[in-house]
């Protein structure tokens, strides 16, 4: 049986929002966003039950411990490590469901980091990945890593392999990220359903060149190369019709100096990279205005790429 710290009763953890895919790296790339995310609090029980005691959210979330990503991850973690303990779980959502900013990943990763902190010998981030992936499987039926890994690690990451796990922590570019979240929901399952199962070899070659150029740009600190490489010829064209005004929003970002813009995760949020804070604010305003012309209000997040992943806060 895994030993727990006897003096800990309540632990809270914060997990940041994330932007997955980053245009060029479908299901591979992601980065963490500073300042917005979910907080999950675990409190030891006197029995071995794992229950959700409270959810603070603008939208309804499942209270069933097997259907909520936070509780499902804690349950799997405890079963796998033979932890004989129970927890009450409180979830404070900072991210809307289906917003394209890693909302399901943030809840499950925050819960995972909290329960891991009870261990006398906590697991490392790589060791936690398999439990985080279980949360994504509960949420969307697919254990994809492009949100949970940057959420755990922080920074910008590329998952080269899950079995065996091989995560590359990439150099963080000197850019400011802008994410605009329109007030509409697009579930990951729906967004994935429009993607083709097969692609043309010529498109694969083109996208591989963009991905290679993007990674080279990070290592060489070359924003011109980054700008030339931040293109998505595979996924964006298929998902764009699901988001009202997407191309107008993207063009507004580019017209105001963005280095590039594309879907954040599966959408409907749209991200852009700016050279500095001043340009980022102008880009954000233009993107919001473009969404409003398609009868969509929106929220804006302007942030550096966060170097810190999920962590204990209390």
24 and 134 in a single domain? The answer is: yes
- Active-site entry in 157, 159, 184, 188: 188
Same domain membership, residue 161 and residue 218: no
Amino acid 37: pLDDT: 96
Q: Which two tokens stand for residue 52?
A: 């959700």
Domain range for 274? 176-303
Whether 196 contacts 212, CB under 8 Å: no
For residue 180, the cross-strand partners are 270, 300
- Assess if residue 5 is contained within a domain: no
| Long-range contacts, stretch 58-62, CB < 8 angstroms, 24+ apart | 58/93, 58/96, 59/93, 59/96, 59/97, 61/91, 61/93, 61/97
Q: Tell me, what CATH number does 151's domain have? A: 3.30.230.10
| 143 shares a domain with 238 | no
Q: Which of 18, 136, 159, 279 is catalytic?
A: 136
Task: Clarify whether 198 is annotated catalytic.
Answer: no
Residues 183, 250, single domain; the answer is yes
pLDDT at res. 1: 64
pLDDT at 138: 76
Do 151 and 292 fall into the same domain? no
Q: 230 with 156: CB under 8 angstroms?
A: no
Cα dihedral across residues 41, 45, 51, 52: positive or negative: negative
Both 41 and 159 in a single domain?
yes
Task: Assess whether 202 and 276 both reside in one domain.
Answer: yes
**215 and 83 part of one domain:** no
Domain count, the chain: 2
Q: What is the pLDDT of residue 58?
A: 85
Residue 21 and residue 99 in one domain: yes
- Give the integer Cα–Cα distance in Å for 208 and 258: 22
Q: What is the pLDDT along the chain (314 residues), one digit of tens a residue?
A: 678 888 899 999 999 999 999 999 999 999 999 989 999 999 999 999 999 999 999 888 889 988 899 999 999 999 999 999 999 999 999 998 888 999 889 999 999 999 999 999 999 999 999 999 988 877 766 667 889 999 999 999 999 999 999 999 999 999 999 999 999 988 878 888 899 899 999 999 999 999 999 999 999 999 999 999 999 999 999 999 999 999 999 999 999 999 999 999 999 999 999 999 999 999 999 999 999 999 999 999 999 999 999 999 97
Are residues 30 and 166 located together in one domain of the fold? yes
Our answer to whether residue 169 is catalytic in this structure is: no
């Amino acid at each position: 049986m895994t030993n727990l710290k006897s003096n800990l009763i309540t632990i809270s953890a914060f997990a940041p929002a994330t932007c997955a895919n980053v245009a060029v790296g479908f299901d591979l790339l992601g980065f963490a966003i500073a300042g917005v995310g979910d907080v999950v609090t675990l409190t030891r029980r006197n029995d071995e039950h794992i229950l959700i005691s409270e959810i603070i959210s603008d939208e309804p979330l499942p209270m069933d411990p097997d259907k909520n990503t936070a509780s499902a991850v804690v349950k799997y973690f405890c079963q796998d490590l033979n932890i004989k303990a129970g927890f009450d779980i409180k979830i404070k959502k900072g991210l809307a469901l289906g917003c394209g900013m890693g909302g399901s990943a943030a809840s499950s990763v925050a819960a995972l980091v909290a329960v891991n902190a009870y261990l006398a010998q906590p697991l490392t981030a790589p060791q936690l990945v398999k439990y985080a992936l279980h949360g994504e499987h509960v949420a969307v039926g697919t254990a994809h890593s492009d949100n949970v890994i940057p959420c755990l690690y922080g920074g910008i990451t590329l998952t080269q392999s899950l079995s065996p796990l091989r995560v590359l922590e990439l150099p963080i570019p000197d850019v400011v990220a802008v994410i605009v979240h329109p007030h509409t929901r697009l579930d990951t399952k729906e967004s994935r359903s429009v993607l083709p199962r097969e692609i043309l070899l010529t498109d694969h070659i083109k996208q591989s060149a963009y991905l290679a150029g993007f990674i080279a740009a990070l290592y060489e600190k070359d924003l011109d190369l980054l700008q030339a490489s931040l293109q998505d010829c595979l996924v964006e064209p298929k998902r764009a019709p699901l988001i009202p005004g997407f191309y107008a929003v993207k063009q507004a970002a580019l017209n105001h100096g963005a280095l590039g813009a594309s879907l954040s995760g599966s959408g409907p949020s749209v991200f852009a990279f700016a050279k500095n804070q001043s340009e980022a604010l102008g880009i954000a305003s233009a993107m919001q205005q473009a969404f409003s012309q398609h009868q969509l209000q929106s929220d804006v997040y302007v942030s550096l790429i966060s170097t810190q992943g999920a962590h204990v806060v209390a």
